[in-house]
Every structure is written in C-alpha cells, then in structure tokens.
A and B are shown apart, each in its own frame.
Chain A
Amino acid sequence: MSAAVSGDGRSRNWAPYLLSGPALLLFIGVVVAPIAMTALLSFQSWDRVKGIGDVLVLAHWREVLSDGYFAEMFLRTLRLSVIVTVLTAVIGAPEAYILHRMTSRWKGVCLLVILGPLLISVVARTLGWALLFGGANGVVNQALIKLGIISAPLPFMFTETGVAIALAHVLMPFMVLAVSASLQKVDPKIEHAAASLGARPATVVFRIVLPQVMPGLLSGAIIVFALAASSFATPAIIGGRRLKVASTLIYDEFLNSLNWPLGAVIAMILLLALVAIVAGSNRIVERRYAEAFS
C-alpha cells in the first residue's frame, strides 16, 4: 500500500482496477456497446427490398428531423412525461408526507400498499387500467357519471389522458420513495420550531418542510420523467396504435416496418434528449441547493 501511495512506480496498485473490472466489463458489454451499435445503425442505408446496407447515410436523420409527424410524436412524448412527472409530484409528495407522519404500525401497512404495485408486472397493472377505462361502460366512467362529476363518458382509452393517468400510477412509487427518503432527513424539531414562531400547520408544510424535501422531490421527478419518456408497455396498451410515443414508434419501426435504421435514429434522439434533460436538471438542482444542503 505505502509503495503505491508514495508513487515511486515500482508497484502499482492494481486492486481498484481488478475489483471494478467485472462491473466495468459488464457495463461496456450491455450498455456502451449496444448504444454504440445503435448509433452506427442509425447511419446505415436501408431499402424496402434489400434491407440494411453497408453504406453510411444521413437520410434517416434528415427524414426524422424534417418530418412534422416525428416532431409531433416527440412533443407528445415530452408533454406526457411532463404531465406524468407533475401528477406524481402533486400526488406523491403529499402521500409521502402523510406516510411520514403516520405511526409506525400504519406506516408499514401503507408503505406496502404504495410499493406493492412494484411487485406486479407493469403489463398486468396497465391491463388493469385498460379494464377500468375500457369503453363507455368502463368502471371509471360509470363511477364518475354516478357521482355526477360528468354527464357523458369521457374517452380514456387511446388518449393522452388515459396514458398519463396509468403512467402516473405505475411510476408513483418512485416519487413516494424519493420524497420519503429526504423527509427522513428532516429534523422533526424544525417543524416544532416553526410552529413556536407562529407558523400555522399549512405554512409549516409549504415554507419549512417542502423546501427541505425539494432535492428529493426533484430527484424523484428526474427518475419519473426518464421512466415516463422511455416507458413502453403502458403507452402501448392504453395508447394503442393510434397514440404513438417515442418508444412505441421505435418498436413499430423495428418490428413492423423493419426499418431498423429509422428506429435507431428515433432511439438515439430519445436517448440524447433524455440525457440532456436529466443531466441539465440535475445540474440545476445541485447548483440551487449546494449552499444549503451539500
């Protein structure tokens, strides 16, 4: 050890490399290599008859970037992801706070209820929503009509509303977990201190608790946003073939049109957009809160 630390070069310390080697190889094998291959694929020529060629062209990139159809689809993906992120934040953060305030006996039960869905396949959960939404006689519509909230059935299936609701439910646990984790770091005495200074309970929540869990809320939002933008099963089942998002379009290009290079372009754009958005917002979060919480 001391030889390696003193840096005389006679015995280099290989332990860190050896220890991280397997994970690094796995990372290169299953993450870096496929992305590199997809990137390469997006430049390869394609013909309806001859399939994928060896010539590198920019045609697919030009097609995707200039066709309004793709722009609309990307915008829809972005819009849906933002709506789902906001929905999970607005519902999940209070949920986490209520959970935080519960006595430990109830906390366990409710945590199970919230996290339980994670144990069930996304497909099964989404099909559940499809059953609830399905047609004019769906359970949700019937309930809303009976409650007098709406007079005519709302279309949920194959609409953005339906996809957003189902996705928000599927991704809710991630938000609740992220906010819960940062709530646990909040000193309960701080709420008492605020109350003693004349802050009403609502003021305590918005002025004292919320700012402290903001980093957790924002990292939860980043997770939910990334998962929503790349989600496949839920938009495929609820959105169907009418309501395409990036991931379902990629699937169609690869498996229906068999235009792999075009699918690769969409996949690359989705990936780059996600990396840019996630890294960018992470940067903002870190800069904003570096002073108070580091």
Chain B
Amino acid sequence: MSYLRIEQLTKEFGSYRAVEGLTLTIEKGEFVSLLGPSGCGKTTTLQMIAGFVEPSAGSVVLGGKDLLAVPPYKRGLGIVFQSYALFPHMTAAENVAFGLEMAGVGRDERRRRAGDMLELVGLSGFADRFPRRMSGGQQQRVALARALVIRPSILLLDEPLSNLDAKLREGMQVELRQIQRQLGTTTVLVTHDQAEAMALSDRIVVMNKGRAEQVGPPEETYERPASAFVSDFLGRTNTLTAQVDGEGTVRLRGVAIPMAKLAPGPVSLSVRPEKVGFTEAGAGFVNAVVTAKVFQGTHWLYQLETPDGAVVVIRQNDGSGGPAEGASVGLRWAVEHCLVEPERRSAP
C-alpha cells in the first residue's frame, strides 16, 4: 500500500483543463519531482495536494485517509514556496516556531526544536534576524526549516530553488537532498528545471498539458523517454524525420536503420547528442558537415548540418581532437539509444 495515492486527479478552470486525470502513487520517504514546462499543471497538482485548490474530480489519499476531506490547516503538510513566503514581521526563529506554536508545543520545546532545525539548515547564528535582513539563500533555508520543523507527513516544494543564482542552487540541491535523506521525509518537488529534478529525485513525473507523460527514475526517463516531448524536455535531443517502408524497416534517406519493424509511414527519430558518434562520410546513418566546433572543457560541442536539418553532437574530450570545422563525416549511433515515434504534426 503506497503512502500517497493520487487518482484521476483533474482540475478545470472554466473550459481549460489544468490537470487531466493524473494518477500517481508515492512511497513513504520517496522524493518525487513533478517536472514540466510552465502551464503543464504541476503547480496546480501541488496546490490540490496542499488544499489551496479544490480538484474538479479525483482523489488524494494519504496513509489510507482521504486528504480532500481535510481542511488545509489540518493536513499537516510542509510547504516551501518559490517566493519563500516567510512572515516578514517575525524573526527567523519565530518563523520556524510558528508551526510548533499552532500545534500547541510548549514555549521551551518550541525554542529548542526551532533552534535545532535552524542549525540543521546551517543558520544557527541567524535566529533573531528578520527575513528582510537575509539573503535569498538564507530565506530559502528558513522556509525549509519552517516546513520541516512540524515533521510534515509530506514536504511539498514549489520551485524552491528557482529564485537562487546558479551556484547557490547547486549547493542547495545537494543540501536539500541530504536533509531529506536524513529526515526521511516524503517529498514532492515541483520544478521546470530538468537538471534539478534529475539531481534530486528518486522518481520523476514528466508532465505536459495536464497529463503525466512518463513516470520513472531519472536515468530511465532520460535514457528511455516515453515520447519525443520527454526526450526533448529532459536535456537536448536531435530529432530527424525518417520513413518506415512497406517492409516495416526504418529508413533515413534510404539508409536502413537496423531496428524493430514498424507500421509504414513517416516517423520522427530522436537521439541524444552524446549518443551520436562520428564515422567516415558515407559509412554512417546520415552524412553531415561540421559547421561549428565549440570547446567546453570536459567535452566538445559540435554543430552539424545534415540534409535533414541541424544536429548537435557532444563528444567527451579524450584528447583525440575529433573532426575539424568544415569536415564531412558520417553519423552513427547504437540503435537502442534512439527513439522512434510516428510523426506528429503538433510536435513540441
């Protein structure tokens, strides 16, 4: 029996469906990310779990109890918002202790537990500071401490790191993951940042247009994307148009690609930049000309022009140099690394 069960959750705003029949189960202690572009319904889903938005249909069950029948202030969930939403008229310690006060915890224990939690997030010296006098990263930690101190059944994180600069964000990701592991709090993260989702989560729910396109561990969603949308959203991908001939063979401008037979018709073929390798011109699946070659330290980034459009290739910097700009090459990849989907007119 899973800890949190979301079934057929739907939210309509007028005729617009923000979330459409979302079904998801989350185990105790798991870290799950809802990942998707803005408007995909991930925040609405979070708000329905939290109780700030009433679902049009569906159910949310937490530990066998119907969560939708419980008012927000009795759900016992910890939430961290993108804007931190700290109480500006209270010090950091007062902010953290507020939830304990609401739970009827005595003054001394309140102070002790708030102090412990501030220490856990690395802010022991900031107890008496007002949010105004703290940096974004510090406010973020206070918000996290405030949400965690009530020992929430689920920690909901609504784009918690997107207001921080890149370096701070990376540090916070590691820290967040450590704290989450240490406390074992079941966590749902909403984010549009695929790197963040992959770095933090046990499982990722890739959402698009109110639906879950794929649910799975980060490596799986990255390596075996269920759709071109997932492939494109989780990192870079090259998409080429191919044809399936009468015998069911996938052909790229006549060159057969040795993979499972498919129904005839146009298909789109996607393959990740780091999975593409160079061969002699004419020996690969497709011929290309190197238009740009950019050094990025650990790897080289190649921009190539093929008869079917631009392709990006990333090669590890193994010291061999690789093809020069203007060189004609053939491109090849292991067929298990490419995803073939029937051509969609409205491809994202």
Contacts and interface: CB of A to CB of B under 8 A. Distances in A.
Contacts of B156: 196
Given A187-B83, A212-B89, A196 B72 contact: yes
Contact of B102 (A197, A292, A293): A197
B169 interface: no
Nearest to B143: A193
A196 B77 contact: yes
B117 interface: no
Interface string B52-88: 1000000000000000000011111111010101111
Contacts of A294: 132
Chain A CB count within 10 A is highest, among B78, B98, B143, for: B98
Interface in A189-213: 189-190, 192-201, 203, 207-208, 211-212
A291 interface: yes
B56 to A, nearest CB: 18
Interface in A30-65: none
A282 B79 CA distance: 37
A196 B50 contact: yes
Contacts of A292: 88-90, 130-132
Contacts of A293: 88-89, 132
Chain A CB count within 10 A is highest, among B77, B85, B132, for: B85
Contacts of B150: 197-198
Nearest to B78: A196
Contacts of A208: 87
A214 B147 CA distance: 26
Nearest to A189: B85
B327 interface: no
Given A192-B50, A291-B132, A292-B132, A200 B73 contact: yes
A31 to B, nearest CB: 36
Nearest to A204: B73
A187 to B, nearest CB: 6
A292 B134 CA distance: 11
Given A197-B150, A198-B74, A293-B132, A192 B79 contact: yes
A209 B95 CA distance: 14
A195 B132 contact: no
A196 B98 contact: no
Interface in B7-64: 50-52
Contacts of B78: 196-197
A201 B71 CA distance: 10
Contacts of A214: 89
Contacts of A197: 73, 78, 98-99, 102, 146-147, 150
A192 B72 CA distance: 8
A187 B85 contact: yes
B201 to A, nearest CB: 22
A196 B76 CA distance: 7
A82 to B, nearest CB: 25
B85 A190 contact: yes
A196 B102 CA distance: 10
Contacts of A200: 73
Interface string B82-111: 010111111000000011001100000000
Contact of B87 (A190, A195, A196, A291): A190
A292 B86 CA distance: 11
A195 B89 contact: no
Interface in B286-333: none
B99 A291 contact: no
Contacts of B76: 198
Chain A CB count within 10 A is highest, among B81, B103, B131, for: B81
A189 B73 CA distance: 14
A193 B130 CA distance: 17
Contacts of B50: 192, 196
A242 B125 CA distance: 63
B99 A192 contact: no
Contacts of A289: 89
B130 A198 contact: no
B81 A198 contact: no
Contacts of A211: 87, 89
A22 to B, nearest CB: 38
Contacts of A189: 81, 83, 85
B130 A194 contact: no
Interface string A281-294: 00000000101111
Contact of B75 (A187, A193, A196): A196
A196 B83 contact: no
Contacts of B90: 292
Contacts of A196: 50, 72-73, 75, 77-79, 147, 156
Contacts of B147: 196-197
Contacts of B52: 192, 195
Contacts of B79: 192-193, 196
A198 B73 contact: yes
A48 to B, nearest CB: 59
Contact of A194 (B74, B75, B98, B133): B98
B71 to A, nearest CB: 8
Contacts of A207: 98
Nearest to A201: B73
Chain B CB count within 10 A is highest, among A187, A189, A199, for: A189
A198 B132 contact: no
Given A189-B81, A189-B83, A292-B130, A195 B72 contact: yes
6 closest residue pairs by CB, A with B: A197-B99, A198-B102, A189-B85, A193-B85, A211-B89, A196-B79
15 contacts: A193-B85, A196-B50, A196-B75, A197-B78, A197-B99, A198-B102, A198-B150, A200-B73, A208-B87, A211-B89, A212-B87, A214-B89, A289-B89, A292-B88, A293-B88
Given A195-B72, A196-B50, 13 more contacts: A189-B81, A189-B85, A192-B52, A193-B85, A195-B73, A196-B73, A196-B147, A203-B102, A207-B98, A291-B132, A292-B131, A292-B132, A293-B132
